[in-house]
Amino acid sequence: MNYYRLYITLFLSLALFSCGEKQDATSTPIDQTLETEPEVIKEYGYVLDDYVVERDTVQSGDSFGKILFDSNVDYATIQEISDSVKNVFDTRRIRVGKPYMLLKSKDTLEAAQVFIYEQNKEDYVVVDFEDDVTAAAKKHPVTIVEREVSGVISSNLSSTFDDLGASVLVSIKMADIYAWTIDFNKLDVGDRFKVIYDERFVNDTVPAGVGNIKACVFEHRGREIYAYRFENDSLPGGYDYFDQNAENLRRAFLKSPLKYGRLSSRYNLKRRIKYYGYRVRPHKGTDFAAPIGTPILATADGVVTKSERRGGNGNYVKIRHNGTYDTQYLHMKKRLAKVGQSVRQGEVIGTIGMTGNSGGPHVCYRFWKNGKQVDPFAEDLPASEPMADELLPVFDSIKRPLQLQLDNLPFMTEAEDDITEEQEATEALQ
């Protein structure tokens, strides 16, 4: 009897356990799936979902006040905002075509609360007047990528860069570096170059222009001229370009008062002109032809001693560079330098015109030495200050790896030949 009860008890326990397992297996489990949180989209440090977002560009007739007033901000508040942020952002200086973004309140009024203005690809301004009025000038993250380009001149430097698909801005920077040693208006077909430079990108993808040229070599008429950027606080502007022997490529005077232009008439004391019956009419200047409005550059540092319009000279500027040299720039359309003004080498002092006795748009560049007009191309013009001896080891440590990098960079035609030979070899194996 006791065994029978024990058997019944054990059977009922097993049955209940089995039913419990079955019930657990068939019952609906508690839903433990977590809801995915919505993605938070932020720009300029703001959560966009918190606002009504309006993106646009400044249109003709727009102003900071008009943009805000059209977005339900009253004039008194606009004036308060403009006054409060003027030390950071001049609201009068927004430009047509520049992009901006408004963050507006999420209510029936949809009044603007934040104004974000893109000054250029890198710089932008945030004006926040949601609570207190604040303004901050900021920059997008910029990535710098090193580039290498080489090529052979077929017509001129800029078109060669264009053919290579490289930025023409690099050619302009190269022309500046070699302005004292190479006349880029007189390049030869077959001249060639290699250059290492930095390219800038905003947010890793948006091109933001060309940075510094680190090193380059230009082969002109068989002569290789290397240039290495060297930065030091003792140098004018904090940097300069030096050649293989640490000689400064910058000379006291530029070869030309124009970045791009054509030498149309040289200094000639025995010039004869048909219009004057072939009588000797000395030409004591050097003419550079270019379209009207082309910028004219000071060829060296100095102080403006004359800026006026007079007779056959037309509009002209004269600069005293030191106790020995003066330069003069004639026939300008506009004079952009005043008497007593200090100017730097390469600074724009006027624009090409046809004022005075001029048969076409050009600048007559006159060069004075000790009060006498001379031919600048016949003068042995002084170089810039040499590099200090204590800087030579530092310069050499910068130069050596860059020179190796340049020397290992093939010219574009050589690279193309290598590719062709490789393709031919591959085809032969097939």
User: How far is CA 14 from each of CA 4, 25, 54, 310, rounded to the nearest angstrom?
Assistant: 15, 16, 70, 122
Q: How confident is the model at residue 266, as a pLDDT?
A: 78
Which residue spans within 66-205 are E strands per DSSP? 99-104, 112-118, 123-128, 134-139, 142-152, 192-202
Residues of the chain with CATH 2.70.70.10: 262-378
Q: How confident is the model at residue 428, as a pLDDT?
A: 46
Phi, psi of 88 (to 5 degrees): -110, -40
Report the alpha-carbon distance of residue 387 to residue 228 in Å, rounded: 13
Residues of the chain with pLDDT under 50: 1, 22, 25, 275, 414-430
Task: State pLDDT tens for residues 137-156.
Answer: 999 999 999 999 999 998 88
Q: How confident is the model at residue 424, as a pLDDT?
A: 47
Q: How confident is the model at residue 425, as a pLDDT?
A: 47
Q: How confident is the model at residue 18, as a pLDDT?
A: 54
Report the alpha-carbon distance of residue 300 to residue 182 in Å, rounded: 17
Phi, psi of 47 (to 5 degrees): -80, 110
Q: How confident is the model at residue 206, as a pLDDT?
A: 85
SS3 content of the chain, % helix, strand, coil (to 5): 25, 35, 35
3-state secondary structure 10-70: HHHHHHHHHHHHHHHHHCCCCCCCCCCCCCCCEECCEEHHHCEEEEEECCCCCCHHHHHHC
* CATH 3.10.450.350 given to domain 42-139: yes
Question: In sequence order, what are the residues at sequence separation of 6 or more whose Cβ sits closer than 8 angstroms to the Cβ of residue 260?
Answer: 175, 184, 185, 290, 294
Superfamily grouping for domain 262-378: Glucose Permease (Domain IIA) (2.70.70.10)
Neighbours of 188 (CB within 10 A): 9
Task: State pLDDT tens for residues 347-397.
Answer: 999 999 999 988 889 999 999 988 999 988 888 777 777 788 999 999 999
Q: In CATH, what class is 142-242?
A: alpha beta
Residues of the chain with CATH 3.10.450.350: 42-139, 142-242
Phi, psi of 311 (to 5 degrees): 45, -135
CA dihedral 66, 71, 74, 77 (to 10 degrees): -90
Q: Judge residue 103's burial from the number of C-beta atoms within 10 Å of its C-beta, 0-12 exposed, 13-18 middle, 19 or more buried.
A: buried
Q: How confident is the model at residue 45, as a pLDDT?
A: 92
Neighbours of 98 (CB within 10 A): 15
Beta bridge partners of 241: 229
In one-letter notation, the amino acid at residue 231 is E
